Chain A
Amino acid sequence: MEAADLVQIVLFIALITGLTPVLGLYMFKVFTGKPHILLAGFAWMEKSVYRFTRVDPDEETSWKEYTFGLLVFNLIGILFLFLIQICQLWLPLNPAKLPGVTWHSAFNTAVSFVTNTNWQGYAGETTMSYFVQLIGLTVQNFVSAATGIAVILAVVRGISRKTTHKIGNFWVDLTRSTLYVLLPLSVLLAVLLAGQGVVQNFKSYETIHTLQGQTQVIPMGPAASQIAIKQLGTNGGGFFNANSAHPFENPTPFSNFLQIFAIFLIPASLTYMYGKMVGSARQGWTIFTVMMILFLAGLSVSLLTEYSTNPAFGNLHFMEGKETRFGISGSVLFSVVTTDASCGAVNAMHDSLSPLSGMIAMINILVGEVIFGGVGAGLYGMIVFIILTVFIAGLMVGRTPEYLGKKIEAFEVRMAITANLVTSFAILVFTAWAVVSSYGLAGLNNAGPHGFSEIFYAYASAAGNNGSAFAGLNANTIFYNLTLGVTMLIGRFGVIIPVLAIAGSLARKNITPPSSGTFRTDNWLFITLLVGVILIIGGLTYFPALSFGPVVEHLLMKAGVAF
């Protein structure tokens, strides 16, 4: 590891930490209706959206109506996306004359982009027309991220309000998130990326003749605009199949740094906004710290193993599958960040990571994508863990557990454990099915524990709405498209619905004022506890599966056996 690598990492942490309160404060203003900088230029747009959709922005709803609106909106998104893929041949902006997508792949992709997963069973440049990419996928990149922000806003209101059943207006939250947060940041990032050489055009693919005298098709397209939101919205769906390893998608170390940075920016800032909205910035920083600790732990282990030597190749570090443009540090940082934050964009194939850093990537996903996590999703996932932590440990102070003055009772516990249960169910049951069925094993390119990891990773990634692949698994089959599609739906809405129910239940409760008898949720003791609960609850469930995958692979590799 060289000094430049260390500088990159330190700079990354410093920038994220430094910008968290800045963007956080801005979002706090946006979502609490306070005056902010973009209001002058865009308020008319917000108003016309409401006029056009006939939404009364001042009318707030109960959690049930809020959830209903969210589900209907997402269902329409899935249907629309499904249809335009099937019919892309008859739609404009298809210079490569790509045929309609198969029904199962279209289903998988529709679910994938609506759930903010962006699992891609297909190769972008050979499957999707510009129309689908722009009108379908890119739009969902925005609104799926905005949906995540809407959910966390509902949760914050549930916590900070008292004795009310109103938790906000989904359409307003959706509009403001898109208009004031995601769009402006994406434009900014897209311009910066285009400046680094990311392509942004509507040209047909170009055919060139290489020096060896062969012909090669060079894909083109409006990449920069989709990549900006794919990173910022923690979506991760690449414009090209190679995702951010593709030179047109991620040409330089600086564009690489920008992309990594963009993944964490909003999720990290949301913690500060959260703190402000619940009335204590410290509460936000506590969550930020927990996330940062888990991130740094994962990063350290990953770097350590990647910089160790692979006995199979003598004295070399693990350079297999990595872009020489970014090197080990640039790739490992990307892999840890993208799995932490439920983004799923990749700049190196996770399949080629050393077994232990592959395991870190898996653990990052398996603990529920709460290490910064998806936009909004990471934070509301963290709230689920906080509720469990507060409930288990809060009893030890001799009071009914409470979080920020709200009593955590049977209903909240039931919902929190449900959110945990459904994702574990999807990951474990589908993996168990795939590893012993012929159609599951058919897609496998590697044997042994590595093959196991590939399948396990796929379902974990789908359930965590991460979307990155371990690769090495051909998942564009009816079996995988369907089971992964269902897993993504469970992983997204199986968490969102219980979380919104919690928001509704908390909103109805009164707030117990804090005293010295209150279980504190803003100190180091709580940070330690929360980290412990995340690792134990997340870890214990998957410990056997991890043992049969990366752990045994690592041990075998030490003995010189590779897969």
Chain B
Amino acid sequence: MKRRRLVNHLMTALCGFGLLLALIPLGSILWLVISRGAPALNLDFFTQLPAPVGETGGGVGNAILGTLSMVGIGCILGVPVGVGAGVFLAERGNGRTGDAVRFTAEVLSGVPSIVVGIVAYGLVVLPMHRFSALAGGVALAVLMIPALARSTEELVRLVPGSLREASLALGVPQWRTSLRVVLRTALGGIVTAVLLSIARAAGETAPLLFTALNNQYWNFKADQPTASLTVQIYNYAVSPYQDWHQKAWGAALVLLLLVGALSLIAKALARNRFGTAR
């Protein structure tokens, strides 16, 4: 009796210790990024172009815009494909085709992101003869698709079969049932999955190096090289200038906030996944 309680306390303590160990790196990253990055933040940082070497001031406005626009392109290309593939897998994916698609998604999600970058380079950059936001978006889309497909499949499968039956029994054709009942019911979860995959894509550097490259100026065209937060961080961080290091920390903080905000929104949405109507 006493021994059992002792063991129980010991195990609880061990678990707590493990948790603490895991939290240390996370906490130190947060602390480091916030403490180093916060001084760099001001209005100009969000709205101005990067200043040339030696000049003070300037910002990463174009990189923020670039990241947002490329993630946007990635979403436009990747979300329909990923979600569509997921719905297909869940609804019709029990045969050979389904297995093949699932296997492909599995492999694709295991491919290092730099390889995806090279593929996008071959697919978009070479034929267009230039680096572009579009190429970056394609690379991000390819990264998003497999994870999105698998999580959509899981979410659609979670929709109770009884709802599908209820709809079919009302004389609703299968495709409408899949779309307007099954997908509608899983929508909350799928939106969460999309937000999480966006957060992941926003943090990618490697696939953008070969595709969007970088740009010192504002770019509003999809077929032009584009700056992005991650590449900007990389460039600033590897530079020898103290001022740029400072800016790299600032950009890292902005990226962290962006991803953090997306995760929080995703969590909030996930909480009322089977949220009530209206």
Partners in one complex: no
Q: Which residues of A contact B (CB under 8 A)?
A: none
Q: Which residues of B contact A (CB under 8 A)?
A: none
